[in-house]
């Protein structure tokens, strides 16, 4: 695998007859609060943005620049699953729900979907392929990772204003020491995931 993702997975699907190949990725499985967010992206093969990389490997400033380039020649949809849905379904199924919602939000339905990871959601509208470490291999999945990350980070920055003290604008809800200390001091918010162990332990200290 090279340093930058490429168009090989999309090209292979197109050679098999797919006209519109979409990449899907998510962000937010690990945080203790906020939604899990997925994005689905179709990139125009004639206008592939340069410099696309996995969102985890670029700075916030670089992600913002890449987002602008992606939006010029792409169709994309975003989907979320709320903390309540995460608690009700479990994080994996909530992630799949967010992915399905992102795909449904596209302006034009896809013919083929490339999904980051090693498992596929059920009830997809078209054939699909799981791509392990796909955000480092497929430009469409990399683009989806950029959109999902920038979207969720903006949500968490807004929630940080509503619930000050937890540092969500800096930690995006991940279990940093600052965040954990704030939960211990201030208690969980309605945005915290009750099914996640650190939150469940606070709410139900006698549970195992």
* Sequence spans of domains, the chain: 8-203
Question: Residue 13: what pLDDT?
Answer: 98
The Cα 41–Cα 103 span in angstroms is: 8
DSSP string across 46-63: TSPPTT---GGGS-HHHH
State if pTM tops 0.75.
yes
pLDDT tens, residue by residue, 89-126: 999 999 999 999 999 999 999 999 999 999 999 999 99
Mean pLDDT taken over the chain: 94
Secondary structure, 3-state, 156-202 = HHHHHHHCCCCCHHHHCCCCCHHHHHHHHHHCCCCCECCCCHHHHHH
The Cα 169–Cα 158 span in angstroms is: 8
Q: Name the fold adopted by 8-203.
A: Nucleotidyltransferase; domain 5 (3.30.420)
178 in Cβ contact with 168 (< 8 Å)? no
Structural tokens at position 50: 């340069």
* pLDDT: which is higher, 4 or 191: 191
Looking at residue 207, what DSSP letter applies?
Answer: -
What whole-number percentage of the chain has pLDDT above 70?
A: 97
The Cα 49–Cα 57 span in angstroms is: 16
Report the b/e string of 117-132 with b at 16+ CB within 10 A: beeebeebeeebeebe
Q: How confident is the model at residue 4 (pLDDT cuts 50, 70, 90)?
A: confident
Question: Residue 60: what pLDDT?
Answer: 86
DSSP H or E segment with residue 21: strand 21-27
160 in Cβ contact with 66 (< 8 Å)? no
Does residue 144 carry a pLDDT above 70? yes
Question: Residue 2: what pLDDT?
Answer: 52
pLDDT tens, residue by residue, 160-169: 999 999 999 9
- Biggest CA–CA distance in the chain, Å, is 59
């Amino acid at each position: 695998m090279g340093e930058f993702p490429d168009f090989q997975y999309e090209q292979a699907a197109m050679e098999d007859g797919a006209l519109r190949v979409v990449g899907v990725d998510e962000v937010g499985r690990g945080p203790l609060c906020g939604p899990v967010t997925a994005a689905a992206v179709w990139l125009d093969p004639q206008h592939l943005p340069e410099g696309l990389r996995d969102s985890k490997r670029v700075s916030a400033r670089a992600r913002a620049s890449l987002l602008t380039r992606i939006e010029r020649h792409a169709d994309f949809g975003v989907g979320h699953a709320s903390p309540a849905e995460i608690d009700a379904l479990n994080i994996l199924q909530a992630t799949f729900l967010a992915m399905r919602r992102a795909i449904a939000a596209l302006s034009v339905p896809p013919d083929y979907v490339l999904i980051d990871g090693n498992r596929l959601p059920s009830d997809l509208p078209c054939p699909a392929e799981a791509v392990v470490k796909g955000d480092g291999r497929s430009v469409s999945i990399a683009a989806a990772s950029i959109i999902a990350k920038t979207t969720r980070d903006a949500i968490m920055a807004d929630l940080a204003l509503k619930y000050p003290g937890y540092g969500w604008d800096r930690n995006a809800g991940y279990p940093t020491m600052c965040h954990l200390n704030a939960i211990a001091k201030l208690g969980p918010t309605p945005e915290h995931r009750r099914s996640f162990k650190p939150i469940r332990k606070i709410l139900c200290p006698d549970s195992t």
